[in-house]
Amino acid sequence: MNSIKWSSKRSLAILLVSSLPLATLIPVALKIRLPENVRMIWSICNIVLILTGLLLSGIAMKQKKSRDPILILALLTSIALLLMVLGIVALSVVLNIIG
């Protein structure tokens, strides 16, 4: 019984870590303009959180007992955010080469 509770709490914590980069959308929705330094720190934190969420969910997925829908959602969220970041980086490289 305790292992089920621990697995569920761990999955929720991993989902929280994976979803925290979505907090970037809050200032955008509220039309708040952040200073350049804050945006740079925030983007570094987002990348670290995405990689941490991906690593933690990947490690947790190795155990067949702990695979639950919350953990799968955390893994998919991390992968989607990582693909978005990689797409933004690729776009910026292409635009710098062209322009």
Q: Tell me the pTM.
A: 0.81
Q: How far apart are CA 50 and CA 58, in angstroms?
A: 12
* The dihedral sign for the CA sequence 86, 91, 92, 93: positive
Q: Tell me which amino acid residue 77 is.
A: T
Tell me which residue of 14, 3, 11 sits closest to 54, measured CA to CA: 14
- Tens digit of pLDDT for each residue in 46-80? 999 999 999 999 898 888 776 788 898 999 999 99
DSSP class of 44: H
Contacts of 82 (CB under 8 A, 6+ apart): 50, 51, 54
Radius of gyration of the chain (CA): 16
pLDDT interval class at 24 (50, 70, 90): confident
